[in-house]
Amino acid sequence: MPYMTSDPKEVSGKSFDYIIVGGGTAGCSLAATLSEKFSVLVIERGGSPYGDPLVEEKKYFGYSLLKTDEYTSVAQSFTSRDGVENYRGRVLGGSSAINGGFYSRASEEFVKKAGWDKDLVQESYKWVESKVVFMPELTQWQSVVQFGFLEAGFYPYNGYNLEHTQGTKIGGSIYDQCGKRHTSADLLGFGRPNHITVLLNATVKSVIFDGNKTRAVGVRFMKSDGSSSKSYKVHVEKRRGEVILTAGALGSPQLLLLSGIGPEDHLNDHNIPVVVNLRDVGRRMSDNPAISLLVDRFSQNRTLEPPQVAAIAEGYKYILESEVLPTNITTTRISIAAKIAFPKSRGRLKLNSTNPRENPSVKFNYLGSKEDLEACLEMVLLLQHVARSETVTFYLGLQNREKLLAGDEELKSFCKDNVRTYYHYHGGCVVGSVVDEDYRVSGVKRLRVVDGSTFEESPGTNPMATVLMLGRYQGIKMLKEREAEKGGDESFLSPQGSPQPQP
């Protein structure tokens, strides 16, 4: 594994070819890839996932979401202005360290729309899969709910399948056969570890620009524990170094705003000097509205289960999964949940303050559009079909006594009262409005954003596979770019193939 430290003095004042801000789902695969030829610094605001049973062990799935605090927990909670509670990862590995670990690729349609190179996408998915993805052994409840999905009409049955196809399927998992989670942090070990430095427990305050404010030259950061407000600086190599934000759909737009890139009026409100007046930073935020039905009648003490099976509705319109979640340390509930795959409603992210450790303010406008509300009604009916299927009711020993929700008005108010997140929020630095198709930020040089904040919609059943892939994909493209710039001349490497040390 690469060298990891929590001492800011060890990197302060140094130079690297690339500085990656956020050691999350995209950041780790990107760092591993770029390290094949260059020196990389990964700055992660959280700590290490290794040795933390809440992250690593499947038997503690979901516990990390119960144990959150303001500054140190591996999951950081935030409540959107819609009043819906949500979470973001704060640990090396990012949200791949706190999620359900379900791995499933984007649709061909998504890849085509993104304008990505199909072959390189395939290669990049396979690179990830060969290292951190496993075929799950279905638990008893997952087998039951799989039949429930089929009974409710989610055909055909696709078995174990990593592709995004209509019907019912078993997805991949980042939990191995022994129940150990493999987060994106594991991918760092597949780069050239001696080219990677990981600085843990450090929060980036802003990007540093040159005198003309035309290119990124480094970042300012502080210790995450807030033990001091002391600032440190680290720079990128002068000729071609780059800063890459991989801080996620909340972190990356927040960092651009803190660095003076965003809507002028909003930056002025916070007395932040404007570097680029870029209106769309923090806009087009989206989160898939979800509904979760608790199908067991009361709390029990079951074995915790992340989702292993997904039902994908016709036209990919809805995604359904089920899990056994902890409600506290000793009790569990079984949830069957569904999300609207392509919500029309959009929201916005703004700064609450100039403190980088504070969550930004975000509103997603769940069910704000008429189409989303209509879709939610249909989705609840589908969920009821699964919950009332013979297999599910027989397994849970339930009689179908509960009254079915019916009638548009009743369903509408149920949707509005119970809408929640599927944790797949995205947007804020969307391709075409904040970054170009090479993920370069408009209006400045040597600054990119590579993560879920660039997505207009959430890929596949869930975004993890595609965000892992994107780090690899974009890393390879950047290596090729550098090679083309040098005309294939690799004189930027020392004879041993290590990056030249920077002064």
Q: Which amino acid is at 182?
A: H
- In terms of DSSP bridges, do strands 3-5 and 196-199 run parallel, antiparallel, or are they unpaired? parallel
What DSSP string describes 4-65? EE--GGGTTT-EESEEEE--SHHHHHHHHHHTTTS-EEEE-SSB--TT-HHHHBGGGTTHHH
Tell me, letter by letter, the H, E, C secondary structure of 443-499.
Answer: CCECEEECCHHHCCCCCCCCCHHHHHHHHHHHHHHHHHHHHHHCCCCCCCECCCCCE
Lookup: tokens for 20 = 């990656």
Q: Residue 323 and residue 309: Cα distance in Å, rounded?
A: 9
From 164, 385, 424, 426, the catalytic residue: 424
Q: Residue 56 and residue 181: Cα distance in Å, rounded?
A: 5
Lookup: tokens for 54 = 């809440």
Q: Residue 272 and residue 371: Cα distance in Å, rounded?
A: 38
- In terms of DSSP bridges, do strands 283-285 and 347-350 run parallel, antiparallel, or are they unpaired? antiparallel
Lookup: tokens for 183 = 């987060």
Paired residues of 220 in beta bridges: 206, 233
- In terms of DSSP bridges, do strands 289-294 and 332-340 run parallel, antiparallel, or are they unpaired? antiparallel
Per the listing, tokens 């407000």 go with: 229
Of 219, 220, 217, the C-alpha closest to 236 is 217
270 is catalytic: no
Lookup: tokens for 2 = 């690469």
Contacts of residue 497, defined as CB under 8 A and 6 or more positions apart, other chains included, come to none
Task: Give CA angle at 394 (391, 398), nearest 5°.
Answer: 125
Which are the catalytic amino acids? 424
